[in-house]
Amino acid sequence: MESLLNQLPVGLSIGAVLLLIALGLTFTFGQMGVINMAHGEFIMAGSYTAYMLQDWAGGEAVIVALPVAFAVAGALGWVLERAAIRHFYGRPLDTLLLTWGVSLVLQQAARDLFGAPNVQVVAPSWLTGRIELLGGNLPYARLFIMALAAACVVGIWAYMDRSRQGRRMRAVMQNRELAAVSGVATGRVDQLTFFIGSGLAGVAGVALTLIGPVGPSIGTYYIVDAFLVVVAGGLGQLRGAVIAAVALGMLNSYAEFWTDASLAKVIVFAVIVGFLQFRPQGLFVLRSRALT
Amino acid sequence: MSGDGPLLRVTGLEAAYGRARVLFGVDVEVGAGRLVCVMGRNGVGKTTLLNAVMGVLPPTGGTVVFDGEDVTRLPTHERVRRGMGYVPQGHETFPQLTVADNLRVTLEATRHRDAAAIDEALEVFPRLKQFLGRRAGFLSGGQQQQLAMARALVTRPRLLILDEPTEGIQPSIVAEIEEAIERLHRERGLAVLLVEQYLELAERLADSFVIIEAGVVRRAGGADDLRDDEVKRLLAV
């Protein structure tokens, strides 16, 4: 019972990280139809940003790194969109190959820059403790990750729902052609969307340094699960992404707890495939005239 | 207004979907304050013509000159900002945005940014006022079409381009929409390029017309020529 309880914060924090990653994907995938395989490497860029900042910021590197990683990963995403992806709009398979290639290049670049072995980022001392609760353990670091994801979701929601630029983003997501004939510069909206989506991956990368070591291929481990969250949650939907991310994180951690890592993956995939048989459109649907 | 030429001059316009060519050099002119009707049977390229004029489908040949400026290579949103208002076929809206937000997102993309433009557009379609807080996807087809036209009016266009504005709309609202077009044209002197299948409306409103068949203009003329038997033959199904 005790260890069963301990899996709860593990599952929730993994779900929180997946959510941060999937938020970005759901924008780029939902708005532009781009399957960005390099999104995982923006996570890695965020993690290494925290690693690099240690020399300067010491124990508080993780905190300092949050905004910096957002900017670094966002800038990487922006450059990728401007330099390459925008030439491939409407060609999903070519985009997939292109971004996969970029992902490999970025991973190798990280190996050359930081070395192949994993590195460690030291968590701030005030995040190393834990709360004893009902006989279980609640590490501060995991609580911090959940709070971070919650703050990001609230921030994104407020941005999408309350700001002019957010309204413009939703308009482009819902009807790109109509947005253009309404005078909206859709290309500029795409750039900003890509920046924000990639930046969130960078924030997720920083959060991951609190859970474990950082390596050049850290992104590949999470990118598939993040895509599952996007597909299961429904494209371009905040609500669906939140539910799917938490569910997937929990399923992952408990399946791993009761079986082992590889069997857990099989179980997760089987559940997702089964779910999509019943709801191929995901939990919530954006692209329809009928409303959820 | 710059120059003495027509407000819109389309010359030798060609367009294609991939390898399938649809337009083979179409010429159309709309003078300031005129209403020009584009007619033709289904599938002759009327919608393609409008999409090419707006840059939604980049033309493969020919030129589009608006108010003396060659806009052929400009992105769609730049044409809108220069005064070309477009209402595409099929009462298109942003379904998950409220009616008010549909209009706001358009206003914020204009050059003038004058909030009074929304009130002006709502004066043309007063029925929309009671739905401002409702999501556009919940409106009926006819109400969505009124919203679509109001959205275009918010940009304060000098030329309004309409693609079959009453197609598939419930009869009770068709009259309102036709009346609105007539008022905008007659009272405010708005130039209109209208794609329409039905002779009756064209006869009532148009200053001139072009009939398209298989991607070329087959016939063009003034309102009186519409009573011609040749015209009836070109439009008969």
- In chain B, which residues have their Cβ closer than 8 Å to the Cβ of A289? 95, 137
Integer Cα distance of A220 and A222 in angstroms: 6
Integer Cα distance of B35 and B193 in angstroms: 6
Crossing angle for the helix pair A92-114 and A61-83, to the nearest 10 degrees:
140
Find the range with the poorest average confidence among A28-37, A64-73, A178-187. Answer: A28-37
Instruction: Mark yes or no for CB contact A181/B138 under 8 Å.
Output: no
**Nearest by Cα to B17 from B42, B54, B45:** B45
The CATH number that domain A2-278 falls under is 1.10.3470
Domain boundaries, chain B: 8-235
In contact, B8 and B64? CB cutoff 8 Å? yes
Instruction: Mark yes or no for CB contact B94/A180 under 8 Å.
Output: no
Q: Look at residue B121 and tell me whether its pLDDT is greater than 80.
A: yes
Integer Cα distance of A153 and A26 in angstroms: 13
Query: Can you give the pLDDT at residue A2?
Result: 62
- In chain A, which residues have their Cβ closer than 8 Å to the Cβ of B75? 180, 185, 187
Domain boundaries, chain A: 2-278
End-to-end CA distance of chain A: 39
**Nearest by Cα to B135 from B193, B84, B93:** B93
Instruction: Mark yes or no for CB contact A179/B93 under 8 Å.
Output: no
Residue of B105, B108, B111, B147 to mutate when probing chain A, most A C-beta within 10 A = B105
Instruction: Mark yes or no for CB contact B77/A170 under 8 Å.
Output: no
Phi, psi angle pair for B56, to nearest 5°: -65, -40
- Min CA distance, A165 vs chain B (Å)? 9
What contacts A241, CB < 8 A, 6 or more positions away?
A19, A22, A23, A26, A229, A230, A233
- Min CA distance, A9 vs chain B (Å)? 35
Structure confidence at residue A75 as a pLDDT band (50, 70, 90): very high
Find the range with the poorest average confidence among A238-242, B31-35, B92-96, B208-212. Answer: A238-242
pTM of the model: 0.86
**CB nearest B77 (choices: A170, A180, A290):** A180
Tens digit of each residue's pLDDT (9 = 90 or more) over A53-69: 998 888 888 999 999 99
- In chain B, which residues have their Cβ closer than 8 Å to the Cβ of A174? 94-97
- CA nearest B152 in A: which residue? A182
Q: Look at residue A25 and tell me whether its pLDDT is greater than 50.
A: yes
**Nearest by Cα to A185 from B93, B56, B109:** B109
What contacts B229, CB < 8 A, 6 or more positions away?
none
| CATH 3.40.250.10 given to domain B8-235 | no
Please report, rounded to a whole number, the percentage of residues in chain A having pLDDT higher than 90: 55
